[in-house]
Structure 1
Amino acid sequence: MWSLIIILLISYFLGSIPGALWSSKVLHGVDIRNYGSHNPGATNAFRVVGWQAGVLASVVDFGKGVLAAGVVASQIRIDPIPNLSVFGWETATLVGLLAGVVAVLGHMFPVFANFEGGKGVNTAAGMLFALTPVTIGITLAVFAVVLISSRYVSLASLTAAVAFPTLVAIRRYLFGAALDPSLLVFGILLALAIIAAHQSNIRRLLNGTESQISSFEPAQGMLGRGEL
């Protein structure tokens, strides 16, 4: 039990590292919470201060999920959780998922940024990449296609969130891939959480008022005011 608690605590603090907020401040001296959507996530960093801070934030956020689920969860020894075999689940996969989910919660409610964080999509992607790289690779391809064709980051994120558990089910039950069933359960729960976190984006998409990514340059309004 103590090993699991230590894993979850480390994962939370990893997830709490505010990549977009810190990268924007270091590279441009800008607090992105004061501009754009006011969200301290990678998408707002792209919109407000440009691609350098956006890419750095995305890498940091993705890496938090990879480290929590793929490194922290595997390096601290934990005894097998009883009765998991009834569901066909493996302890290692479940612990990795728990660590990753806590990292996502840390990203959404970071102790290093007054508990005001992003929506956790990049960190969730990193978590799932550590556990099933092929499935998340296909999911990221879906994300890229939707983003390039629509230029809506929110729509791409929502589509990818639904695509992941769908792909897990297809690969496991149609093609016999050796995927732990817990990935499907957590994938569904994660998709629901991401959809819930994007309620405002969904409303704007339906109303036609959602912001698109039209450039990788900093927002012209800020440049014009000499704020970068």
Structure 2
Amino acid sequence: MGSIILILVLSYLAGSIPGSVWVGQLLYGVDVRKHGSLNAGATNVFRVLGWKAGVLSTIIDVGKGLLAAGVIASIRIDELPSGFAFWQVESVIRLLAGIAAIVGHMLPVWAGFRGGKGVNTAAGVLFAITPKTMWIVIGVFTLVLFSSRYVSLASITAALMFPATVAIRMFVFDIEALDRSLLLFGCIFAIAILYAHRSNIQRLVSGKENKVQNFRLAHGMRGRGEL
């Protein structure tokens, strides 16, 4: 159990790195949680500080998920619990590490437990586990984003698409042998993303959600002199 506890703690701490907050404060002297949507996620960094800060924040957030599920989950200080096949245990541990990182992103100990919604960090986790499935999900995200201009709608659709894609690949086409725990995680992940975006869903229904006005390189509120 020592390995699992260590993995969970380190993954949570890695997920707690508030990339968006630190990018804003250290590089621009701006706390993004006080501007735009008041959210500590990369989308709000794009909105407030522009594309350069937004891209950097996105890389950090995705990297946290990759680090947790791809690296930290491999740490061993004792034997893993017995009773399952090796690959099943490994899959579950990687998912647990990913969940800990996502929780850390949403409730970061380094930033007063005020974090983002976890979409980018979750994407990093899933890329580490099943990159082929994630490329399909990224394609859906991009299609919805460019057709609707709603980042929130694209995120919600992508979250729902992940477990659907895993199920189709596993049970319909039998393309890839994936642990069924990944399907369960995908369903939980989709529900969590829906809950995190509940205010966005309300604004989408009422027609008040913010749209991406254009897809040219954005300079953000700071670049427009609004800060």
CA-CA distance at 1:137 after TM superposition: 1.2
Report what 2:168 is aligned to: 170
- Conservation of the 8 A alpha-carbon contact between 1:47 and 1:213: no
Residues 1:218 and 2:216 aligned together: no
CA-CA distance at 1:171 after TM superposition: 0.5
Report what 1:13 is aligned to: 13
Report what 2:48 is aligned to: 48
3-state SS, counterpart of residue 71 of structure 2: helix
CA-CA distance at 1:220 after TM superposition: 4.5
CA-CA distance at 1:67 after TM superposition: 0.5
User: What CA distance in whole angstroms lies between the structure 2 residues aligned with 1:220 and 1:113?
Assistant: 23
CA spacing shift, 1:217–1:27, aligned 2, 3 Å:
farther
Report what 1:67 is aligned to: 67
Report what 1:205 is aligned to: 204
User: What CA distance in whole angstroms lies between the structure 2 residues aligned with 1:93 and 1:77?
Assistant: 18
* AA partner of residue 3 (structure 1): S
- Conservation of the 8 A alpha-carbon contact between 1:24 and 1:45: yes
Aligned residues: 224
RMSD, aligned α-carbons: 1.7
* AA partner of residue 158 (structure 2): A
User: What CA distance in whole angstroms lies between the structure 1 residues aligned with 2:94 and 2:78?
Assistant: 11
User: What CA distance in whole angstroms lies between the structure 2 residues aligned with 1:74 and 1:219?
Assistant: 39
User: What CA distance in whole angstroms lies between the structure 1 residues aligned with 2:68 and 2:168?
Assistant: 26
- Conservation of the 8 A alpha-carbon contact between 2:17 and 2:108: yes
- Conservation of the 8 A alpha-carbon contact between 2:50 and 2:223: no
Q: List runs of 5+ in structure 1 lacking aligned partners.
A: none
Report what 1:187 is aligned to: 186
Indicate the percent of aligned positions where both proteins have the same amino acid: 53
Q: TM-score, normalised by structure 2?
A: 0.93
User: What CA distance in whole angstroms lies between the structure 1 residues aligned with 2:152 and 2:55?
Assistant: 16
User: What CA distance in whole angstroms lies between the structure 2 residues aligned with 1:114 and 1:221?
Assistant: 24
- Conservation of the 8 A alpha-carbon contact between 1:152 and 1:213: yes
Q: List runs of 5+ in structure 2 lacking aligned partners.
A: none
- Conservation of the 8 A alpha-carbon contact between 1:66 and 1:129: yes
CA-CA distance at 1:217 after TM superposition: 2.2
CA-CA distance at 1:74 after TM superposition: 1.4
CA spacing shift, 1:162–1:201, aligned 2, 3 Å:
same
* AA partner of residue 72 (structure 1): I
Report what 1:154 is aligned to: 152
User: What CA distance in whole angstroms lies between the structure 1 residues aligned with 2:10 and 2:133?
Assistant: 26
Q: TM-score, normalised by structure 1?
A: 0.93
- What per-residue deviation string (whole Å, max 9, x for no partner) do you get for residues 124-174 of structure 1? 010010000100111111111111111111101100000000000000111
Q: 1:67-86 counterparts in 2 under 5 A?
A: 67-76=67-76, 79-84=79-84
- Conservation of the 8 A alpha-carbon contact between 1:50 and 1:217: yes
User: What CA distance in whole angstroms lies between the structure 2 residues aligned with 1:38 and 1:123?
Assistant: 19
Report what 1:110 is aligned to: 108
Task: List 4+ stretches of structure 1 deviating above 4 A.
Answer: none
